[in-house]
Chains A and B, each alone.
Chain A
């Protein structure tokens, strides 16, 4: 068990009150697991990933615990976290292409970073070269400045530097968003390669792009409005999702080989609720085509099948209204 998150709440402090971006979230990530976190913009997926790494000035941990390899992470204590960052958990940020100081050589940046972790550059240089080679970069980049490199090269360098100390958990935040599809695939394969070689034990991939998750992740966690909606293996989420939100999300993706002249691609009606004052009960209920009375109470995040968690009253073991369950058939593969 690599990562265990229990009842985590991260709120943003604003003038109008707390924005409940991550609200009572519990899940685990196993060793070797590449877990994708998917959801619309503003659903809290980036807050979850970044919050585990570092709470910025506006974020506040309100409750819950995060355990990495059986040791609780001092999420709220920036100083104590500094000792664990980079060594135990690391991140490839959303802005990887501009994450390198433009006026320092790659070599200098790496040396300075390692020095802060009391690691000698000379001890890591061989491994560093090997890994640069693995991602297709010549060792001459070490002597170059970031401005001399392309965006893709910088991103790969950041990936290598971020994982150089073999962290237990790697958080990859929207790393494929700015890339074309073939580069997306290459970056995805690098993540898998890093996991297979043991550079990282487990990975959390944050993205709004379900197709990249279908390619690289072992499990997918779907978030909606600060809450978890569904977690299951990537196959299950793509082919047999149970939560109405996941079903609608999957069905709004285009499919290869389908002519959309004949079939209208459906979207999800409405917009996500404001997290300043989220609705009572299931947060999806006012957009959900299957909503019924019970949905005004908050659904539990139940394990309905081994490894398959859903937060929906329709699927809940505790109380299933037969009529409602019949009304919402299990969707198969992207059928809208």
Chain B
């Protein structure tokens, strides 16, 4: 058991190192000079601009040799100091991300979890009844095959712009500031519904299709046949099948939750929702390399933590992994 986890942890550390190195290198390989975009903000006189450029060149550490910049970056990670955002200058990257991540989390975590549970249930129901299979399955293929941005824009257009049922833009009304009052929370929830629904429906189909196929496979397995031979009620057979079929789905759930920190760029652009996705988008379009690095780092940590958690959960829920682990040890 200990050897298993030590092995796992060293693999995760190695992955983290490689990923962070790539995260540090890629923005620096982008064409163009990030300072150029940054200096546009100051609209200074030509000679003042030259001075500013020299100042910020040093301030952002571009004058140091690359290996030093790389080491500084690692040092920053350990102190949770991700540098200063160029686009939101002079706010530090960590603060900028902190301001946006709440909106992304509030939107994606409920959407992923609701879609997971409802989708699995629907899929399991489809697997056992022909009528449901003939309705749920095509519907699932339809919604999971729909281009997301188109579906989201339809929702925004009809429910928002045309019928004015729900606000279709921003995380809260213009002119309000985020405070813990009931009025604001109500306002926030109202803005939350449309992007939530768009994500929920798009993810639902995939879970339902996956679960249906897994359950059908389980119902055709030998243990299911034996239970039926011995006259077990369908309820018991289904319970066994569901519990076994849900295991591969758990991996999918962990990965979906792990990548949520990257935000759902398209959702946040369509609904102009100020989450990490929109932030990411702004960072890329404005060549803000520090913000990019920070957002990537968040994704790296999210995916690794989610995978690690699923490794542990699997050991708890699936005896097969435990046995193979003992085998590796023995």
A112 to B232, CA, bound (A): 9
Chain A hits for B323, CB < 8 A: 145, 147-148
A148 to B228, CA, bound (A): 24
**Which of B277-330 touch A at CB < 8 Å?**
318-320, 323
Q: Tell whether A93 pairs with B231 under 8 Å between CB atoms, given A101-B244, A103-B243, A147-B319.
A: no
Partner of B229, one of A91, A103, A112, A116: A91
Interface string of B121-157 (1 = CB under 8 A from A): 0000000000000000000000000000000000000
Main secondary structure on B side of the interface with A: helix
Q: Tell whether A90 pairs with B230 under 8 Å between CB atoms, given A104-B240, A116-B236, A145-B323.
A: yes
Query: Does chain A have a CB within 8 A of B217?
Result: no
Q: Tell whether A81 pairs with B222 under 8 Å between CB atoms, given A112-B236, A145-B323, A148-B323.
A: no
Chain B hits for A85, CB < 8 A: 229-231
Query: Does chain B have a CB within 8 A of A95?
Result: yes
- A101 touching B233 by the CB < 8 A rule? no
* Smallest CB separation, A156 vs chain B (Å): 15
- B222 touching A113 by the CB < 8 A rule? no
- A82 touching B231 by the CB < 8 A rule? yes
* Smallest CB separation, A87 vs chain B (Å): 8
Chain A hits for B221, CB < 8 A: 98
Query: Does chain A have a CB within 8 A of B227?
Result: yes
* Smallest CB separation, B41 vs chain A (Å): 59
Give the number of A-B contacts (CB < 8 Å): 71
Query: Does chain A have a CB within 8 A of B57?
Result: no
- A116 touching B225 by the CB < 8 A rule? no
- A116 touching B222 by the CB < 8 A rule? no
Interface string of A92-122 (1 = CB under 8 A from B): 0101001111111000000011001100000
Partner of A116, one of B233, B243, B244, B318: B233
Q: Tell whether A113 pairs with B227 under 8 Å between CB atoms, given A103-B243, A147-B319.
A: yes
* Smallest CB separation, B75 vs chain A (Å): 46
Return the 9 tightest CB-CB contacts between A and B, nearest first.
A85-B231, A99-B226, A82-B231, A145-B319, A86-B230, A98-B222, A101-B223, A95-B222, A116-B232
In the complex, besides A95-B222, A117-B231, A147-B320, 4 extra interface pairs with C-beta distance below 8 angstroms are A53-B229, A104-B240, A113-B227, A116-B236
- Jot down 14 A-B pairs with beta carbons below 8 A, ordered by A: A54-B228, A83-B231, A85-B231, A86-B231, A95-B226, A100-B223, A101-B223, A101-B244, A102-B319, A116-B230, A116-B232, A117-B231, A145-B323, A148-B319
